[in-house]
Every structure is written in structure tokens, then in C-alpha cells.
Amino acid sequence: MIDSGVDETPAMDSELTGLPWLKTWNNVYVFVVCSFVLWIALLIALTELSA
């Protein structure tokens, strides 16, 4: 956790993502990582299939 030197408690609206399927920020980060891994896998498959 980073200490900003100011208010340590994030505002409530910042805690909520407001997204229907990804309600917490950790879920959003996991989604981004999963989409990244999926893209890498697709690109590797494309490289191998076209060789």
C-alpha cells in the first residue's frame, strides 16, 4: 500500500468499479491479466500455425 502522505482512506466511489461483472478492482486487474495472457496465447498459436 502506498502512503500518499494525505488522506489514507480512499473515497467510497473509488472502491467500487461500477461494472456489472467486475465489482472490485482486484477482479478488474485479474480480467486485464487474463485478456493479456489470452492475447499472448493467440499470437503464439498464430506464429506456430503459420510456420
Partner 1 sequence: MNWLDYVVLVGSILGIAGYGIWQTRFRTNLHDYLKGSGHTPWFAIGISVMATQASAITFLSTPGQGYLDGLSFVQVYFGVPIALIIIAMFFLPIFQKLDVYTAYEYLEKRFDGKTRSLGAALFLLQRGLGAGLTIYAPAIVMTSVFGWPLNATIISAGLLVIVYTVIGGSDAVTVTQKYQMAIIFAGMVTAAWLLVSKLPPNLEFGDTLKLAGGFHKMNAVDFSTSVNHRYTFWSGLIGGTFLMLSYFGTDQSQVQRYISGSSLRESRLGLLFNAVLKIPMQFSILLIGVLIFVFYQFQAPPMFFDAASRHFMQSHRTDARLTAYETDFNSAQSQVRTYLESWLDARHKGDQSSADSAFLAASLAKQRGETIRSAAAKELALKNPDAKANDADYVFITFILQELPHGVIGLLIAAFFAAALSSKAAELNALGTSTTIDFYRRLIKKGASDADCLTATKWFTAIWGGVAITFALYARLAENLIQAVNILGSIFYGVMLGIFVVAFFIRHIEGNAIFWGALVAQLLVFALYFTLSISYLWYPLIGCAACVLFSLILQTIMGKKQDEIKGYAS
Q: Which of 6, 20, 21, 24 binds partner 1 (CB under 8 A)?
A: 6
User: Is 24 one of the binding residues for partner 1 (CB under 8 A)?
Assistant: no
Cell triple for 46? 498464430
Angstrom CA distances, 34 to 19, 23, 26, 38, stand at 17, 16, 12, 6
Residues in the chain, total: 51
User: Is 23 one of the binding residues for partner 1 (CB under 8 A)?
Assistant: no
Binding-site ranges for partner 1 (CB under 8 A): 1-7, 10-11, 13-14, 16-19, 25, 28-29, 31-33, 35-36, 39-40, 43-44, 46-47, 49-51
